């Protein structure tokens, strides 16, 4: 469990620089330059992700059950994952209305992903992993909205570009395709668990 916690602290700590460490981030950018900062950021992120994955894998071998999720939570998780996938894809497709409205759909997608998995899992290691990401997503979205308001007040932010129905439809289709691929193939390959195998109709 210690390795999982260490991985979370490293990975989420690095990704929360804009939440708690704007001054440190600015100092590093100044000293290292954009490329040097990106290199350091990437190395630290990968190291944290590796420790996190290894820690999670170890913790799964000796799970500590905290509660038993109510019947139906697995269905809710699968449904919420569709929303999560659409939000994450919305960040990558220009001119879609979802990104224009929410501005930070990736962070919201992580928030939904984390909440969805907390609902369906009752072990300590799952609570640490997904709870950690949920807290990070909440704080990151709050910080991003604060930066938006500051930029708007300073006249540095303009209205979002015009949206396209085609782009919004593409976002929904791409998110749905990613969702289907993930629940049928990718989740089994990465985690060894089929999300829909135990669903009762």
In tens, the pLDDT along 158-175 reads: 677 789 999 999 999 999
53 and 123 in a single domain? The answer is: no
Query: Does one domain contain both 102 and 187?
Result: yes
Assess whether 70 and 58 both reside in one domain: no
Query: Do 100 and 7 fall within a single domain?
Result: no
Range of the domain at 41: 1-62
Q: Is 53 exposed, middle or buried (0-12, 13-18, 19+ CB in 10 A)?
A: middle
Residues 58 and 79 grouped into a single domain: no
Tell me, yes or no, whether 76 and 147 share the same domain.
Answer: yes
pLDDT over threshold 50, residue 103: yes
Q: What is the pLDDT of residue 201?
A: 47
Look at residues 14, 41, 62 and tell me which one is the last residue of a structural domain.
Answer: 62
Same domain as 75, residue 174 = yes
pTM beyond 0.85: the answer is yes
| Confidence tier at 71 by pLDDT (50, 70, 90) | confident
Based on the fold, state whether residues 71 and 169 are members of the same structural domain: yes
- State yes or no: pLDDT of 50 exceeds 70: yes
Give the burial class of 198: count Cβ atoms within 10 A of its Cβ; 0-12 exposed, 13-18 middle, 19 or more buried.
exposed
What is the band of 196 on the pLDDT scale with cuts at 50, 70, 90? confident
**Count of domains forming the chain:** 2
Tell me the mean pLDDT in the region 34-62.
95
Q: What is the mean pLDDT of residues 148-162?
A: 77
User: Among the three residues 41, 62, 83, which one is the final residue of a domain in this structure?
Assistant: 62
């Amino acid at each position: 469990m210690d390795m999982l916690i260490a991985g979370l602290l490293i990975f989420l700590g690095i990704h929360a620089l804009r939440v708690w460490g704007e001054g440190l981030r600015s100092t590093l950018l100044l000293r290292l330059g954009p490329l040097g900062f990106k290199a350091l950021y990437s190395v630290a992120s990968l190291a944290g992700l590796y420790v996190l994955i290894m820690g999670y894998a170890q913790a799964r071998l000796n799970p500590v059950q905290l509660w038993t999720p109510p019947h139906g939570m697995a269905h809710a998780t699968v449904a919420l994952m569709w929303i999560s996938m659409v939000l994450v894809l919305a960040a990558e497709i220009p001119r879609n209305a979802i990104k224009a409205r929410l501005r930070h759909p990736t962070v919201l997608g992580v928030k939904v992903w984390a909440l969805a998995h907390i609902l369906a899992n009752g072990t300590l290691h799952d609570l640490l992993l997904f709870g950690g990401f949920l807290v990070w997503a909440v704080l990151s979205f709050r910080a991003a909205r604060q930066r938006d308001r500051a930029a708007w007040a300073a006249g540095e932010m303009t209205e979002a570009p015009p949206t396209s129905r085609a782009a919004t439809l593409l976002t929904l289709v791409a998110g749905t395709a990613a969702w289907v691929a993930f629940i049928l193939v990718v989740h089994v390959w990465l985690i060894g668990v089929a999300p829909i195998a135990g669903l009762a109709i």
